[in-house]
Amino acid sequence: MSSQSRTETIPALEVLDPGLQTTVQDHPGRLGRQALGFFPSGPVDHLAFRVSNILAGNGPGTAALEIPLGGFHASLLSDGVIAICGPDVDVTLNEEPIPLWESVPVQAGDILHCGLIRGTGHRLYLSLRGGIAVPTVFGARSTFLVAGIGGHNGRALERADVVKVNVPNDQQATTRRVPTSLRPSYTNSWEIEVLRGPHADPDFLTAEDYDEFLSTCWRCDLRSDRVAARFNPHRFRWARPSGDIAGGHPSNMLDGSYPLGGVLAYGDTLTILGPDSHTSGGFAVIATVASASLWKVGQLRPGRDTVRFREIGLQQAAALTEHVNRLLDPRNFETR
């Protein structure tokens, strides 16, 4: 565990109302430790998160805030630049509206208020120039709530918490704006790209089951969170009678490590393994969300949104990655 002691830090904001479960995250998070039982944590929507960091003038790997549902209220304690990305929501600075997807200069004493997300989408990302200063824990600054480590004391932010940032060592960043045409669009009924497997047909599911998986409109359950997006129960036929020694249900198998974004058949319930998920287990992963489409899982509104899964191949997945990289290229942003 190394601390940030070499860089100078200053208090950046004081939380007046943290909202539902606001956490400090970094991207790509706690990689390289799955063999020890760590999933990466980090933002559920990596796209909006990374764009907000670029707009705030921060490099990759910088920590910022993930704000599910909005409703975040804070008093700013130092001059700087902020950027907020995510679904449409009313954001004000000293009760004056400020834009999303744009760098916004701020001054000590300003009051920032994010309203509740009432339309499409579910998570907002707030980056502060310099990046949030919290210690690196097991290789990342991301909060992992299940184990109570990382981020701000291993927990979600609470009222009266003071969040610090690193003092940037270069000059004022360019003020940037993401053109509307480049911003991701949010919806109530999502299409999420997946790759088949590792445990699909014909040995686990029947061909009919797989068609059903792709054609069904899945409802995102109210209990969805950073651990997993959960869907309505559904009974597949399965291509085998039981899981033998591993358990009675045909989705059971001998325990193995799960891929991030895996679509897990937990008995009769499908879930998408989120960044705070458990790393292994004895259930079939019937499909895996394309890495470039993982951001969509972060914008699923629990209890409301629906999902259809669209199967793609490796080439299409590579094309999607290129597309996402274009959205992350600051040369495509407007400067002022």
Partner 1 sequence: MSAIIATTELASSRMRVTYRTAGDRAILIEYGEQFPVDLKINFFVHAAARHLDEYGVRGLLEVAPGLRSLLVYYEPHVLSQASLVSALDELHQEIPDPASIVLPSRRIRLPIAFDDSTSREAVNRYRISTRPDAPNVVEGNNVDYVVRCNGLPDRETLYSTILQSEWWNAFTGFYPGLPSLLPLDPRSEISAPKYNPARSWTPEGAVALGGPCLVIHPIESAGSYELLGRTLPISELIRRSRSHRVDPILIYPCDRISFFRISEAELIELRRQVFEGTYDYQIEPGEYAVAEHFTAVQDEHVNAEAIRRRTDRDAALELVEVP
Which residues of this protein are in contact with partner 1, per CB under 8 A? Answer: 1, 31-38, 138, 146-149, 154, 195-201, 203, 244-248, 253-262, 278-282, 285, 288-292, 311, 313-314, 317-318, 321
Closest CA to 319 of 187, 193, 161, 176: 193
DSSP string covering 196-243: E-SS-TTTTS-HHHHHHHHHS-EEBPTT--SSEEEB-------SSS--
User: Which residue shows structure tokens 């909202």?
Assistant: 19
Q: To which H or E segment does residue 257 belong?
A: strand 252-257
The strand pairing partners of 318, in sequence order, are: none
CA distance 80 to 129: 6
Q: Which is nearer to partner 1, 116 or 146 (CB)?
A: 146
CA distance 142 to 124: 16
Q: Is the distance from CB of 277 to CB of 227 less than 8 angstroms?
A: yes
Closest CA to 228 of 258, 198, 255: 258
CA distance 199 to 217: 21
Percent helix, strand and coil across the chain, each to the nearest 5: 15, 35, 50
Q: How far is the CB of 86 from partner 1 (least distance, A)?
A: 24
- The Cα-based distances of 294 to 76, 127, 298, 316 in angstroms read 32, 20, 7, 14
Burial class (CB in 10 A: 0-12, 13-18, 19+), 31: middle
CA distance 105 to 336: 12
Q: How far is the CB of 290 from partner 1 (least distance, A)?
A: 5
CA distance 279 to 277: 6
Tokens matching residue 53: 């960091």
CA distance 208 to 307: 19
Phi, psi of 294, deg, nearest 5 = -60, -30
Q: Which is nearer to partner 1, 54 or 253 (CB)?
A: 253
